[in-house]
Amino acid sequence: MGGSLIRLIFAYTGLSLALATTTASPLWAASDCPKSVYAAAREVRDALYAEDVTALSELIHDGLGVRVSTAAYVIAEEEDLEGSDRVLDRVLDRNAVWALWSDPETYYWGDKEGSGKPIERTGAAFVSEYVTNQELHFETAEPIAHDPGKGRGTTFDNAADKYPEEGIVEFISGEPPENGAALRLAFAPEEGCQRLVGLILARW
């Protein structure tokens, strides 16, 4: 009886440890997460269009979160404000990304490029209008290296000053002199994976 009880306790303890280990593990195995910024960019883009919060939240940098910029000029620090009445770009952690489509709260996301009007939307409305808008066609574009020398639009592109240049890629919709847009994504390595730290929406 005593031996059976000991074996039962051991089996239960082992099962509990196994369950705890499984629960604490990331959704991705290390071998499955994107190692290149181009693969990571495609996964972020696809998760946004699919409204897949599980995949998207796992693509976010756990330590830094993701900064959302509604113009080519990234406002990451107080010195970037240059005396304007704008505020720092919003940073979302994984929990905020997880609730992006379910949170009914309206947030200020930044100012609309060109008109300067404030963008106040729920997360779902913001993504639908400014990221996955069917007129932009980011879903069919291929990610390319960020090239600040292209001179698209009149807004200064300071992304390379705020993120490692090799970690920035973009999806382009249209080309100058037409009306166009860029979905610019910045990544940083974390635990051997490329994870999203910046999402920039540029228009020209």
Domain-embedded: residue 21 = no
**pLDDT tens, residue by residue, 71-107:** 999 999 988 887 667 789 999 999 999 999 999 999 9
Domain-embedded: residue 63 = yes
Q: How far apart are CA 69 and CA 77, in angstroms?
A: 12
Domain-embedded: residue 9 = no
pTM above 0.75, yes or no: yes
Q: How far apart are CA 185 and CA 196, in angstroms?
A: 7
**pLDDT tens, residue by residue, 10-59:** 333 343 333 333 333 345 555 588 999 999 999 999 999 999 999 999 99
Asked whether 141 and 171 are in contact (CB, 8 A), the reply is: yes
> How many domains does one find in the chain?
1
State the residue range of the domain holding 135. 29-203
Instruction: Write the CATH number for 134.
Output: 3.10.450
